[in-house]
Structure 1
Amino acid sequence: MNYGIVLKVLGNILLVESTLMVPALCIAFYTGGYDKFGFMITILITLLIGSIMSRAKSSRSTISAREGLTIVTLGWVLASLLGALPFYISGSIPAYIDAFFETVSGLTTTGSSILTNVEALPYGSLFWRSFTHWIGGMGILVFTIALLPALGIGGFQIFKAESPGPIADKIAPRIKDTAKILYVTYFALTIVTVISLRMGGMALFDSLLHAFGAVGTGGFGMRNNSVGFYSSSYIHIVLGTFMLLSGTNFSLYYAIFKGKWRDVLKDEELRLYLGIIFISVVAIGVNLALTSYSSIFLAFRDSYFQVTSIITTTGYSTADFDLWPSFSKAILFVLMFIGGSAGSTAGGMKIIRVLILGKLIKRDVAKMFHPRAYISIKNGGRTVPNETIVSINTFFALYMIIFAISTILISLEGIDLVSASSSVAATLGNIGPGLGFVGPMRSFSEFSFASKALFSFLMLLGRLELFTILALMAPKRWASEA
């Protein structure tokens, strides 16, 4: 293990994080918030630690797979530990475990919260809380990757461990160019979202925070009743649409920019993604119109918003869907596991894995009639390698095992099975709200210290797609590569 290069990159990540806290500090000073000193102290601490670590000497500039995994895992943990300090030092979130939970939830774009009165937070803390979504959506490490070449360090192993989905594809030949393309797309989506919300009459500050949550697929609201505070159907539809766009593979936007419309239209993952959303919106909309809503338009509006919010793992809400019929809640619960597209800011298991699992089932059924036939699994006209298929099967099995074990552990809190299972699904899938005890109008505040720590671990585990963290917990693997 080259500890020098690990410390050097981690130090640079902390320097980036300290810089990203400056806008929140400025807002705290401008509004006269009591949290300004919390941001000042945290920035100084983060700068100091980052400066010391970034000066570490390294014997080589390349990063191995093991070092990449270590940097990604520790990078997220360190960013969360220090990112929680402004809340804790200022007293806006008095308990550190709560501040840590909130920060992990923000950076992993989960959106689960321990706050019972969000509107009581000062503006600086409100901004930082939502800004962590925007930072974590594309990944603070991807941003750092764009800067690493200037330090003479290659970043592919970090990009590979950081990328959401079973395959880490580069858009451009060089990793730093890929990172820059992703961030240009990210910036563009954010700006257009802010402008669209402003056109609907939403205040600039509100528009910024909701854009951070929608494009980062995070879901931290700045009102106690989330987006339901805004009675405008225009705002609901705009946010729903940008959540849908942010749950789409970002490489497709680059393909559109290059004029490759045919490739985009043929993309199987995109087709399945849009198909699932369409079927879910229609099914829930009809169910609501027949049972709970007097207006068909409002039934389909809320259905569209909530489906896009859950499948993209954003977690915003316009209505208390925990009060919806069981049929509608069951669909939303299933969407919690599916998630958005690979290469997007969304969490969950990812559409591409569901697509390939479906093809595997179809192949095995076909082989029952033709046992000796060779049937390859293809995606986009290309044969999916066996190692990728094995990885997807392993991921699915591991995901369900972790879900089952965690649900059992959380049930020790004495809550009902629906609440226990949905709270785990909401944190492991980086969704935000769940059902029952953790419904959209409630919070995670009443859970014990141990459960909050477990939820925080699940959020990190889900954001880093299980293997990144678990690989570091395999001592035999480490010993064999020592």
Structure 2
Amino acid sequence: MKFGAVQKVLGLLLMTFSFSMAPPILVAWLYGEGWAWPFWAAFGLVFGLGLLIFLPVARMREPLRVRDGFLVVVLFWSVLGLAGALPLWLASDPVLSLTDAVFESISGLTTTGATVITGLDGLPKSILFYRQELQWLGGMGIIVLAVAVLPMLGIGGMQLFRAEVPGPMKDAKLTPRITETAKALWYIYLWMTLACTLAYWWAGMGLFDAIGHAFATAAIGGFSTHDQSIGYFNNPTIELIAIVFMLLAGMNFNLHFMAFRRRDLKIYVQDSEFRLYVAVLLTVSLITILALYYTRTYDDWSESMLKGLFQAVSISTTTGFATAEFYHWPPFIGILLLLASFIGGCAGSTGGGIKVIRFLLLIKQGIREIERLIHPNAQIPVRVGGKSVNHRIVDAVWGFFSLYIASFTLMYLLLAATGLDLVSAFSAVAACINNLGPGLATVGPHYADLNDTAKWILCLAMLLGRLEIFTFLVLLSPAFWRD
């Protein structure tokens, strides 16, 4: 283990993250909110800590190995959750305990969108902007950003990239150089955010709300500047724009890059994961709309269609925006939407969940096992997009799925042990490990009423979901620490 290399990267990344306090300071100045001292204090503390970590190893030139990259990512997201909580904890409005501040910070950075804050409409603009900014930075991964803009790292950028980028196909690069790959991803992310901002603004949002909601939409985060989320605006055009950009953000960013570079939209249709992604969303949306209409939840067909479509896309892509209190809908619909969030977005997207490509491989592997029962001696490969998938990838997907379900079950039991009712406990863990946000029953509107133990368990769930289980659990293996 190259602890010097790990320490150097961690220090640099913390110093980089400290500058995220600058935009909220500017917002506070623009809206006449004073000196925004919580952000100044957080900047000084985070930058100072990063500098203290970095200076002792500044001249070291040790190469960063794959397992070193995993350690950096886990340490960084854990430390970042604490560092990001500082301004929220120090602020006088809202008044948050340390546990609540850390919960809100981790929820933002992991793009979960679960919140313990109520009365959003009356909060300072600087705090509101900071929450949205946390999600935006977490969406593509601050580490990928650091690899893109800090080539001075020069000590194993690929190792950080492989540990950070979601999905099972981590070795596919858009460009020959890892720095250029990270930049390409961020350019797509930036343009998507800008386009979403302009669309929201054009549809009637104020500029502040448009920027904030674009941050959360591109990141598939779900934080809002209003308690009623997107429903606050009561604007069908805004809701349709959100649906379009949630769909785009839930797709594999590699597809966006290739389609743009080749000027060919057929790239999307030719991708097996994209086709399943669309099929799942269409199926869940149709069932939700029909269920809302025939249960008379809404008497008007158009209202059932728009609200059903919006919530189906929002929950299935793990965004978590709301235009209605879906946790008060008939139980069947709530459970359907929650289960759809387990599938989540595509690999290489900002979405959460297990990822569509993994479910595609699980389905194909299941079909293969059925065929093997019929033809025991046949050699039947698993194919995706006309190509055989390496058996090691299939094994890894099964391993991931098993660990995902095991982690979910363990945290579900722990949360139930804190006294939470079973529906709330189930939905809370599902919403957090899938990086979704809103749950059912008591955790539908917010998580403020949970006890501190439950909140720390859910913080772990959010981190596990964001780091895709393996990245975190690999550190618990004795083999990881052997030279």
Instruction: Tell me, yes or no, whether TM beats 0.5.
Output: yes
Task: Tell me the equivalent position of 1:251.
Answer: 254
Offset at residue 419 of structure 1 (A): 1.1
TM-score by length of 1: 0.97
2:6, 2:110 → 1: CA distance?
A: 21
Q: 1:166 to 1:35 in 2, by over 3 A?
A: farther
Q: 2:375 aligns with which of 370, 374, 382?
A: 370
Where in structure 2 are the equivalents of 1:285-296 lying within 5 Å?
Answer: 285-291=289-295, 292-296=297-301
1:54 aligns with 2:58: no
Task: Tell me the equivalent position of 1:90.
Answer: 91
Aligned residues: 478
Deviation per residue, 1:357-388 (Å, 9 max, x gap) = 00011111111111111110111222111111
Deviation per residue, 1:374-405 (Å, 9 max, x gap) = 11011122211111111100111111111111
2:288, 2:35 → 1: CA distance?
A: 42
Offset at residue 150 of structure 1 (A): 2.7
CA contact (8 A) 1:35 1:90 kept: no
Q: 1:279 to 1:331 in 2, by over 3 A?
A: same
1:377, 1:403 → 2: CA distance?
A: 27
CA contact (8 A) 1:35 1:124 kept: no
Offset at residue 415 of structure 1 (A): 2.8
Task: Tell me the equivalent position of 2:32.
Answer: 32
CA contact (8 A) 1:111 1:430 kept: yes
Offset at residue 338 of structure 1 (A): 0.8
Task: Tell me the equivalent position of 1:402.
Answer: 407
Deviation per residue, 1:265-310 (Å, 9 max, x gap) = 1100000000111111111111111221121111111111111111
CA contact (8 A) 1:35 1:122 kept: no
Deviation per residue, 1:148-203 (Å, 9 max, x gap) = 42343231111111011112021111110110000000001000001101111100
Q: 1:230 aligns with which of 229, 233, 236?
A: 233
Task: Tell me the equivalent position of 1:281.
Answer: 285
| Letter matched to residue 87 of structure 1 | L
RMSD across aligned positions (CA) = 1.4
| Letter matched to residue 108 of structure 1 | T
2:98, 2:351 → 1: CA distance?
A: 27
Where in structure 2 are the equivalents of 1:264-413 lying within 5 Å?
Answer: 264-291=268-295, 292-413=297-418
1:432, 1:101 → 2: CA distance?
A: 12
2:280, 2:74 → 1: CA distance?
A: 32
CA contact (8 A) 1:35 1:125 kept: no
Deviation per residue, 1:11-60 (Å, 9 max, x gap) = 11112111122011111122233670000111111121222323324643
Task: Tell me the equivalent position of 2:224.
Answer: 221
| Letter matched to residue 303 of structure 2 | L
Secondary structure in structure 1 of the residue aligned to 2:167: coil
Deviation per residue, 1:289-344 (Å, 9 max, x gap) = 12211211111111111111111111110001112123322220211211100000
Secondary structure in structure 1 of the residue aligned to 2:273: helix
Task: Tell me the equivalent position of 1:111.
Answer: 113
2:146, 2:123 → 1: CA distance?
A: 30
Where in structure 2 are the equivalents of 1:146-295 lying within 5 Å?
Answer: 146-168=148-170, 169-259=172-262, 260-291=264-295, 292-295=297-300
Q: 1:137 aligns with which of 111, 136, 139?
A: 139
2:40, 2:122 → 1: CA distance?
A: 21
1:449, 1:34 → 2: CA distance?
A: 32
Task: Tell me the equivalent position of 1:415.
Answer: 420
Offset at residue 219 of structure 1 (A): 0.4
Secondary structure in structure 2 of the residue aligned to 1:222: coil
Deviates more, 1:338-347 or 1:150-159: 150-159
1:230, 1:323 → 2: CA distance?
A: 20
Q: 1:325 to 1:143 in 2, by over 3 A?
A: same
Where in structure 2 are the equivalents of 1:4-15 lying within 5 Å?
Answer: 4-15=4-15
1:333, 1:320 → 2: CA distance?
A: 14
Q: 1:20 to 1:473 in 2, by over 3 A?
A: same
User: Structure 1: where are the runs of 5+ without partners?
Assistant: none
| Letter matched to residue 339 of structure 1 | G
TM-score by length of 2: 0.96
Offset at residue 416 of structure 1 (A): 2.3
CA contact (8 A) 1:148 1:154 kept: no
User: Structure 2: where are the runs of 5+ without partners?
Assistant: none
2:255, 2:474 → 1: CA distance?
A: 30
CA contact (8 A) 1:5 1:57 kept: no
CA contact (8 A) 2:246 2:319 kept: yes
CA contact (8 A) 2:4 2:62 kept: no
CA contact (8 A) 2:147 2:153 kept: no
Deviates more, 1:57-66 or 1:104-113: 57-66
CA contact (8 A) 2:193 2:215 kept: yes
1:215, 1:261 → 2: CA distance?
A: 20
1:29, 1:43 → 2: CA distance?
A: 16
1:58, 1:300 → 2: CA distance?
A: 60
Deviates more, 1:150-159 or 1:316-325: 150-159
Secondary structure in structure 1 of the residue aligned to 2:96: coil
| Letter matched to residue 255 of structure 2 | L
Secondary structure in structure 2 of the residue aligned to 1:15: helix
Secondary structure in structure 2 of the residue aligned to 1:315: coil
Where in structure 2 are the equivalents of 1:413-452 lying within 5 Å?
Answer: 413-439=418-444, 442-452=445-455
1:306, 1:104 → 2: CA distance?
A: 24
Deviates more, 1:195-204 or 1:74-83: 74-83
Task: Using the aligned pairs only, state the percent identity.
Answer: 38
Secondary structure in structure 2 of the residue aligned to 1:71: helix
| Letter matched to residue 142 of structure 2 | I
